[in-house]
């Protein structure tokens, strides 16, 4: 049996000073005194370490000046041994909520994470910051894995990331019995929800942690949780005693844009040309084939675009993901298989060429934009065909009826978001139970859509549905309304109907918009079994009788928004404009790229864009000035301080 070292570095905080001196992680932690004063580690320890505060760790290890929102209360809850459920949007700073307690509590923190790519980046970033972190997952060979296990049991690690299926093996649970565990962090906790889009059966079994290790505090974290999921997490993970921390789900730096679909790819290209040339971004499509085609199509038009979907071999997927992380201005065209493990901070846009399944999925996918807090776009095109397709996928799935009903409800909520003429953010946040006021940073706020009363047109449309026997989709109905004598129309005798030609004053697109709206508003139902035939619902009658008004947004006829009309506060959130030709910034970027290659990590693990931009803008002259820059912690200062200062000096 491997001997347990009862007193790892952090145990010292609560006990005596001596054992800590032996621990290299601790020594690294102590290298820098508060406020940048350099003192010998012994002096620093005896004066201050016994009262080490989370804030000092934040400053010294991670190089950030202050906690955000609830971070401080979450950390103090966990440090003092309590359970916590943390609901925080992507980019909110969830990782620090368990990383800092991991450094302050005795023992090693065990972090359950479903995605290997994410683990690798987290471990790389922590190692860069001088923290002893490792991961156990299927990418390690047996020898490497047993090395990590040995270090874990020997108390040499501060954080261990582990995949859920690995954690649940009896072998690993026995290792846990023999090891001092500082806390369990359960990342992406919504994976426990059977109704959710990321359901992982192993997550349900994680309640074993509570049963087997009741004294170890647990912190569950997620960026996606509606009321239902929230309750499920608490129940399934047995977090009844956990303090629940709900941060605002607002991502004020993300601008939400939804455009009716006409020629989706062309619309995307125009959007990229106008706003995002040379930026990193993600384009989501529903099918593998469409991913491939779109990537190739963008590539032909001079945009560096890589495909990503589950049908590609593992090597290609890994390569494309790496290139996305490492190479500036790369666009990934992907199915939803891509993304959960992505924590690239400078994704400037997320585009949806197809409709996601729910608001949660939309929110999670768009949430990958702008994690660095700088302005970013969530852009989507959608059309009636999307809604019909998604409906069909739900209806034809193997799931039972109650599951399907929930999925349909979720889809409808999303369509409602896409259709609304009001602030999109208000809708989005309301879905997560949060009240808010019009945001000024979505298309509807920036370019308020004209709303017109389309009651009469709706009556015509519904009467066309009725007179053709509720058996046809929008395409044929529009032909009838517009008075087109297509072969089908003539064969079916629909040119003799009373509604034939009553809608000649509108073009195809306007009618499509109306049909989509009627479906979204629940006045028509697209029946999957009869290939999207539009049928009446309980509310159709009232529309037909003119009792329910139909207010239609005219977004379709409006010109696309331009960059110039971005709202002021969004600009305020943007970084200070940096001169693209600044030789210092260029030199910093080149150095970062070379260093990242050398260390085999993505560039942002070395230093974030915003940190480089601040260095370029403030030109720090000495270590103290450099240390004051957000994102430069003790280990980075030691490792890169000299070279950074030198770069500043030589690029004057
Ligand atoms: P999440 O897991 O919630 O999506 P992360 O933990 O990856 O978010 O944090 C997002 C980014 O914000 C990271 O680059 C992280 O270093 C940074 N960050 C977190 N907390 C702070 C803070 N208090 N001050 C400055 N930056 C922070
Ligand atoms: Zn708005």
**Could you tell me if the CB of 364 is within 6 A of ligand 1?**
no
Longest dimension (CA), the chain: 96
Q: Which ligand is nearest to the CA of 250?
A: 2
- Residues 165-174 have a mean pLDDT of 93
Instruction: State the number of CA atoms in the 13 A half-sphere of 411 facing the CB.
Output: 26
Give the confidence band of 580 by pLDDT, cuts at 50, 70, 90.
Answer: low
- Is residue 139 pLDDT above 90, yes or no? no
Helix axes 508-520, 474-482, angle to 10 degrees: 130
- Of 449, 409, 465, the C-alpha closest to 260 is 449
Ligand 1 atom 2: residue of nearest CA: 94
Label each residue of 572-590 as H, E or C: HHCCCCCCCCCHHHHHHHH
Secondary structure element (H or E) that encloses residue 503, with its range: none
Question: Residue 437 Cα, ligand 2 centroid: separation in angstroms?
Answer: 8
Question: Residue 56 Cα, ligand 1 centroid: separation in angstroms?
Answer: 16
**DSSP-assigned letter for residue 34:** G
Q: Which ligand is nearest to the CA of 372?
A: 1
- Of 363, 72, 58, the C-alpha closest to 190 is 363
* Alpha-carbon distances of 323 from 106, 294, 366, 371, rounded to whole Å: 38, 18, 20, 19
Chain-centroid distance of CA 253 in Å reads 13
Average pLDDT, the chain: 83
Give the number of other CB atoms < 10 A from CB of residue 601.
21
Ligand 1 atom 9: residue of nearest CA: 93
Give the confidence band of 340 by pLDDT, cuts at 50, 70, 90.
Answer: low
What pTM, to 2 d.p., does this model score? 0.66
Give the number of other CB atoms < 10 A from CB of residue 624.
12
Question: Residue 436 Cα, ligand 2 centroid: separation in angstroms?
Answer: 10
pLDDT tens per residue, range 77-94: 999 999 999 999 888 899
Ligand 1 atom 17: residue of nearest CA: 93
Ligand 1 atom 24: residue of nearest CA: 64
**Could you tell me if the CB of 515 is within 6 A of ligand 1?**
no
Greater confidence (116 vs 48) lies with: 116
pLDDT tens per residue, range 143-155: 999 999 999 999 9
Owner of token pair 């004053």: 505
Owner of token pair 């480089």: 612
**Exposed e or buried b per residue across 100-114, where buried means at least 16 C-beta atoms within 10 angstroms of its C-beta:** bbbbbbbbbbbbbbb
Asked whether the beta carbons of 487 and 587 are under 8 A apart, the reply is no
- Residues 388-413 have a mean pLDDT of 83
Q: Which ligand is nearest to the CA of 340?
A: 1
Question: Residue 447 Cα, ligand 2 centroid: separation in angstroms?
Answer: 10
Q: What is the pLDDT of residue 30?
A: 41
pLDDT tens per residue, range 203-235: 999 999 999 999 999 999 998 767 778 889 999
| Choice among 87-101, 391-405, 569-583 with the minimum mean pLDDT | 569-583
**Could you tell me if the CB of 251 is within 6 A of ligand 1?**
no
- Residues 13-33 have a mean pLDDT of 39
Give the phi and the psi of residue 222 in degrees, each rounded to 5. -155, 155
Q: What is the pLDDT of residue 577?
A: 39
Q: What is the DSSP string of 241-263?
A: TPEEEE-----TTEEEEEEE-SS
Q: What is the pLDDT of residue 575?
A: 36
Q: What percent of the chain has pLDDT over 70?
A: 86
Q: What is the pLDDT of residue 233?
A: 93
Instruction: Please write down the long-range contacts of 137-140, taking CB distance under 8 Å and 24 or more positions apart.
Output: 137/161, 137/162, 137/163, 137/166, 138/163, 138/166
Asked whether the beta carbons of 27 and 8 are under 8 A apart, the reply is no
| Choice among 311-315, 472-476, 496-500, 581-585 with the minimum mean pLDDT | 581-585
Give the phi and the psi of residue 478 in degrees, each rounded to 5. -70, -40
Q: What is the pLDDT of residue 59?
A: 93
**Could you tell me if the CB of 91 is within 6 A of ligand 1?**
yes
pLDDT tens per residue, range 433-485: 788 889 999 998 998 887 778 889 999 999 999 999 999 988 999 999 999 99
**Could you tell me if the CB of 93 is within 6 A of ligand 1?**
yes
Question: Residue 499 Cα, ligand 2 centroid: separation in angstroms?
Answer: 39
Ligand 1 atom showing the smallest separation from residue 343 Cα: 7
Ligand 1 atom 5: residue of nearest CA: 93
**Could you tell me if the CB of 95 is within 6 A of ligand 1?**
yes
Give the number of other CB atoms < 10 A from CB of residue 240.
9
For residue 259, what are the β-bridge partners?
Answer: 381
- Is residue 13 pLDDT above 50, yes or no? no
Instruction: State the number of CA atoms in the 13 A half-sphere of 492 facing the CB.
Output: 19
Integer Cα distance of 124 and 610 in angstroms? 19
Contacts of 40 (CB under 8 A, 6+ apart): none
**Exposed e or buried b per residue across 299-316, where buried means at least 16 C-beta atoms within 10 angstroms of its C-beta:** eeeebbbbbbbeebeeee
Q: What is the pLDDT of residue 41?
A: 31
Instruction: For the chain, report the end-to-end CA distance as a whole number of angstroms.
Output: 59
**DSSP-assigned letter for residue 192:** G
Residue in 93, 219, 366 to alter for ligand 1 test, most ligand atoms within 8 A of Cβ: 93
**Could you tell me if the CB of 54 is within 6 A of ligand 1?**
no
**Could you tell me if the CB of 64 is within 6 A of ligand 1?**
yes
Integer Cα distance of 475 and 479 in angstroms? 6
- Is residue 35 pLDDT above 70, yes or no? no
């Amino acid at each position: 049996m491997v001997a347990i070292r009862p007193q790892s570095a952090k145990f010292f905080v609560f006990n005596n000073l001596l054992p800590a001196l032996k621990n290299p992680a601790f020594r690294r932690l102590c290298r820098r005194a508060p406020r940048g004063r350099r003192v010998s580690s012994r002096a620093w320890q005896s004066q201050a370490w016994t009262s080490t505060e989370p804030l000092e760790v934040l400053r010294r290890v991670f190089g950030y000046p202050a906690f955000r929102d609830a971070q401080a209360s979450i950390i103090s809850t966990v440090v003092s041994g309590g359970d916590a459920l943390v609901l925080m949007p992507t980019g909110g700073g969830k990782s620090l909520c368990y990383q800092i307690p991991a450094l302050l509590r005795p023992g090693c923190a065990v972090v359950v994470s479903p995605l290997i790519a994410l683990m690798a980046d987290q471990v790389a970033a922590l190692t860069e910051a001088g923290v002893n972190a490792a991961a156990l997952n299927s990418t390690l060979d047996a020898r490497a894995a047993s090395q990590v296990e040995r270090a874990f049991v020997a108390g040499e690690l501060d954080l261990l990331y582990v995949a859920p299926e690995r954690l649940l093996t009896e072998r690993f649970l026995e290792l846990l019995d023999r090891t001092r565990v500082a806390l369990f962090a359960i990342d992406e906790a919504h994976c426990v929800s059977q109704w959710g889009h990321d359901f992982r059966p192993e997550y349900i079994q994680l309640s074993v942690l509570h049963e087997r290790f009741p004294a170890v505090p647990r912190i569950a974290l997620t960026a996606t949780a509606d009321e239902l999921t929230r309750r499920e997490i608490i129940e399934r993970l047995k977090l009844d005693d956990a303090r629940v921390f709900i941060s605002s789900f607002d991502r004020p730096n993300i601008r939400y844009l939804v455009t009716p679909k006409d020629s989706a790819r062309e619309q995307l290209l125009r959007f990229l040309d106008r706003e995002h040339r040379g930026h990193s971004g993600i384009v989501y499509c529903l099918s593998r084939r469409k991913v491939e085609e779109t990537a190739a199509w963008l590539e032909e038009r001079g945009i560096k675009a890589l495909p990503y979907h589950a049908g590609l071999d593992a090597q290609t997927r890994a390569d494309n993901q790496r290139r996305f992380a490492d190479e500036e201005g790369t666009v990934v065209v992907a199915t939803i298989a891509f993304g959960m493990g992505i924590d690239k901070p400078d994704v400037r846009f997320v585009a949806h060429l197809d409709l996601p399944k729910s608001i949660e999925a939309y929110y999670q996918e768009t949430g990958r934009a702008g994690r660095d807090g700088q302005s970013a776009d969530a852009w989507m095109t959608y059309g009636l065909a999307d809604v019909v397709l998604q409906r069909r996928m739900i209806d034809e799935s193997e799931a039972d009826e109650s599951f399907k009903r929930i999925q349909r409800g979720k889809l409808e909520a999303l369509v409602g978001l896409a259709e609304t003429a009001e602030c999109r953010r208000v809708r989005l946040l309301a879905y997560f139970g949060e009240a808010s006021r019009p945001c000024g940073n979505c298309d509807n706020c920036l370019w308020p859509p004209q709303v017109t009363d389309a009651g009469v047109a709706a009556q015509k449309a519904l009467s066309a549905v009725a007179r053709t026997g509720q058996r046809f989709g929008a395409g044929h109905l529009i032909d009838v309304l517009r008075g087109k004598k297509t072969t089908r129309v003539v064969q079916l005798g629909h040119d003799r109907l009373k509604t034939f030609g009553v809608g000649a004053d509108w073009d195809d697109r306007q009618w499509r918009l109306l049909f989509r709206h009627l479906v979204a508003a629940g006045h028509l139902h697209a029946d999957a079994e009869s290939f999207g035939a539009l049928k009446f619902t309980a509310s159709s009658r009232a529309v037909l009788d003119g009792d329910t008004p139909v207010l239609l947004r005219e977004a379709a006829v409006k010109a696309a928004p331009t960059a110039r009309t971005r709202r002021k506060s969004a600009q305020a959130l943007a970084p200070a404009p940096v001169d693209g030709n600044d030789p210092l910034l260029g030199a910093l970027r080149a150095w970062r790229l070379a260093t990242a290659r050398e260390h085999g990590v993505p560039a942002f693990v070395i230093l974030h864009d915003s940190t480089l931009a601040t260095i370029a803008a403030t030109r720090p002259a000495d270590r103290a000035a450099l240390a004051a820059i957000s994102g430069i912690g003790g280990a980075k200062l030691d490792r890169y301080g000299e070279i950074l200062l030198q770069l500043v000096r030589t690029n004057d």
